[in-house]
Structure 1
Amino acid sequence: MRELITLRINGERYEVAVLPHRTLLEVLREDLGLTGTKHGCELGECGACTVLLDGVPVLSCLTLPLEVQDCEITTIEGLEEQGRLHPLQETFAELGAAQCGYCTPGMLLSAVALLRQNPHPTREEIKQALSGNLCRCTGYTKIYEAVEAAAERLSAARQGERQPNAALQP
C-alpha cells in the first residue's frame, strides 16, 4: 500500500505516494525525474547515489524515503545557485576531474559536504572524505586537485566578501 509523504529536495517540497520498500534513489529518479543521482550498485559500495541529507552525505540506495521526511535532501541538481555552477562543478570541468561522469554527482556532493565542514582540507582529508565514492576512470588525482582548487576559490570568495569595497572608500 502506498503512503503519501512530503520530501524537501533542493529547497522544494514534493508530495509523493511511495511503497514502503522503495528506496530514496528510486523515488528521486523514477518518481521525481531527478536523474542526476546515479544508480550504481544498490549495495552501498560505490557512492554513485550519494545525496546530502541535512548536509551529510548518505547513500540513497540504502535510504528509505519514509525515514527522511523531515530532512533537507540535496541532489546534484540542487548545487547550482542562481543559474551558476557550484565552484566544485567548475573546477571538476576545468581540470578534467570527470571522465565518464557516472561517479561525478556523488563525488561532488561528498566534496561539498567536506568543504562546508572543513574549508581548508589537506589532501589526506579529501581522500578520506571521498573514500566512499568509487571512480573507475580517473585515478582520483584530478578529482583531488579539483577539490583543492575549489577550496582555494571558495576561500578567496569569502575573503573578498570580508574586504571593504575599495570603490566605496574615500
Structure 2
Amino acid sequence: MTQQLTAIRRRIADSVVPELPADARFAREQVMLIDAALGLVIDSHEHEYRLAVLDYHEYRSLLEEFARLAGEGSPSLPEQVADGPAPDAGALPLAAVEERTRWLKEETARRYSELARRPSTAAQAGTLLAGVAARQVDREASWYRGAGFTADAPPLTDLLGEATPTGCA
C-alpha cells in the first residue's frame, strides 16, 4: 500500500503540478492539500491497527476501573465488545511484518527446492505450496478488485475473515 500511495504522490508531483497554469493558485493549493493528505496516510496507515488495539484495551481497562470505583464487579460488556484483540496484536509495524514475510517466502522457496528433489516428499511439498499460492493469489485478486482489475474476485473482507492460516491457531 505504501508503494502505491508513494507512486500516486510522485505522479501528481511529476505529471499534474507541471501542467497546471501558473495563475491556477486554487488548483495548486488543492494539489498541495492532496499531497499533504497522502503524506499523512503514508506515514500513519501501518500503525492504524495497533492504535485501534491500544484504544480498545485502554477503554476496556478504564471501564473496569470505573466499575471498581463504583463498587461493582467486572463491568457487563455486550458480546460484540467483550471479545477483543490480544493486547499485543499489531505490535510489529507493518514494514517489519512485510520484511519477515519476505524472508519466510525466500526460505520457503529454498526448502521447497530441496523437498522437490526428493521423490518421497516432492508431491506433498508441491501440494502444500500450491495451496498457499492459490490462497495468496485469491487474496491479491481481491486486493485489486476495487481498481476494477478483478471484478469477479470476492471482497477482500470475505477472504480475510474466512479462516486461520494453516499452522496458526
What TM-score, normalized by structure 2, do the two folds share? 0.20
More strand per residue: 1 or 2?
A: 1
Which structure: larger Rg? 2
More helix per residue: 1 or 2?
A: 2
Higher RCO structure, 1 or 2 (CA under 8 Å, sep 6+): 1
What TM-score, normalized by structure 1, do the two folds share? 0.20
